[in-house]
């Protein structure tokens, strides 16, 4: 682990946002799932959420390893449980859905805690999910196509959220709790060592400010 790489990882973690997330409702195409996670990483989202009643999410994990290793995904069995969990974290849920009452996505205050609900590629947000959301947002379209690809719509919305959060200074200080920050830092910097510690139920070794492992941990593993 070079000092430069370690500094980059630590800086990215310090910018992670804990009050901005996405909820994917049965997004079943792996390339879309992966693209959503890449966008989450790009705008500093650490926790994403997904709903799946099948093995689809496990398949997604295998095909989106590069993105998934930077973003934690919580899988829920149904939309009711997912929405309850997000509301328990104080998040407002906005469905990306072209409904008659949908508002322009740019009119939303994304500096407040919010989760963006994304529907499946073909059918979009289900009626039940729509009923559980706090409102709908839409990307205005000038052409003949009625909607964007789910991963493209996600990117458009999340980069507006990033723009607002940057202007408000929300990327200027750390949001992750210290304990989780330290855990993620070693999992990012030394994934093999983190895996060994989890397997053998060992505490993670401490790191120096330059990213070196304290002590002789490497010689004992």
Same domain, 160 and 212: no
Query: What's the pLDDT score for residue 61?
Result: 55
Domain shared by 12 and 82, yes or no? no
Query: Distance between CA atoms of 97 and 111, rounded to whole angstroms?
Result: 21
What is the rounded distance in angstroms from the CA atom of residue 2 to the CA atom of residue 120? 41
* Same-domain pairing of 211 and 110: no
Q: Check whether residue 71 and residue 178 sit in a common domain.
A: no
The boundaries of the domain holding residue 11 are 1-16+174-221
User: From CA 128, how far away is CA 80, in angstroms rounded?
Assistant: 9
Q: What is the CATH number of the domain that holds 91?
A: 3.40.1280.10
Counted domains in the chain: 2
- For 102-145, the pLDDT digits (tens) are 999 999 999 999 999 998 767 788 999 999 999 999 999 888 67
Look up the pTM and report it.
Answer: 0.89
Indicate if 115 and 55 belong to the same structural domain: yes
Tokens of 186: 């070693």
181 and 130 together in one domain = no
Residues 181 and 161 in one domain: no
Per-residue pLDDT tens digits of the chain, which is 221 residues long:
788 899 999 999 999 999 999 999 988 788 888 899 999 999 999 999 998 755 555 555 554 556 668 999 999 989 999 999 999 999 999 999 988 899 999 999 999 999 999 987 677 889 999 999 999 999 998 886 777 788 999 999 999 999 999 999 999 999 999 999 999 999 999 999 999 999 999 999 999 988 999 876 654 55
Asked if 218 and 46 touch (Cβ cutoff 8 Å), the reply is no
> How buried is residue 100: exposed, middle or buried, by Cβ count under 10 Å (0-12/13-18/19+)?
exposed
Q: Which of 185, 184, 174 is nearest to 18 (CA)?
A: 174
**The domain boundary residue, chosen from 141, 167, 193:** 167
Q: Let me know whether 12 and 79 are in one domain.
A: no
Q: Are residues 57 and 162 in the same domain?
A: yes
Residues 77, 134, single domain; the answer is: yes
- Specify whether 163 is located in the same domain as 182: no
- CB-based burial label for 143 (10 Å; 0-12, 13-18, 19+): exposed
How many Å separate Cα 89 from the centre of its chain?
Answer: 14
């Amino acid at each position: 682990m070079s000092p430069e790489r370690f500094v980059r990882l630590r800086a990215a973690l310090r910018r992670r946002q804990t009050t901005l997330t996405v909820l994917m409702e049965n997004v079943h195409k792996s390339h879309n799932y992966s693209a959503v996670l890449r966008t989450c990483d790009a705008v500093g989202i650490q926790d994403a959420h997904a709903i799946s009643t099948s093995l689809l999410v496990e398949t997604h994990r295998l095909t989106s390893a590069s993105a998934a290793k930077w973003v934690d995904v919580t899988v829920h069995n149904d939309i009711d449980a997912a929405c309850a969990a997000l509301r328990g974290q104080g998040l407002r849920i906005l469905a990306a859905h072209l409904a008659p009452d949908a508002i322009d996505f740019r009119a939303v205050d994304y500096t407040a805690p919010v989760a963006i609900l994304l529907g499946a590629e073909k059918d979009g947000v289900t009626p039940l999910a729509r009923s559980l959301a706090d409102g709908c947002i839409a990307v205005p379209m000038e052409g003949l196509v009625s909607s964007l690809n789910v991963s493209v719509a996600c990117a458009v919305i999340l980069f507006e959220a990033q723009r607002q959060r940057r202007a408000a200074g929300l990327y200027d200080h750390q949001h992750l709790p210290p304990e989780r920050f330290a855990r993620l830092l070693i999992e990012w910097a030394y994934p093999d060592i983190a895996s060994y510690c989890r397997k053998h139920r060992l505490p993670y070794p401490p790191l120096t400010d330059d990213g070196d492992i304290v002590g002789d941990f490497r010689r004992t593993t």
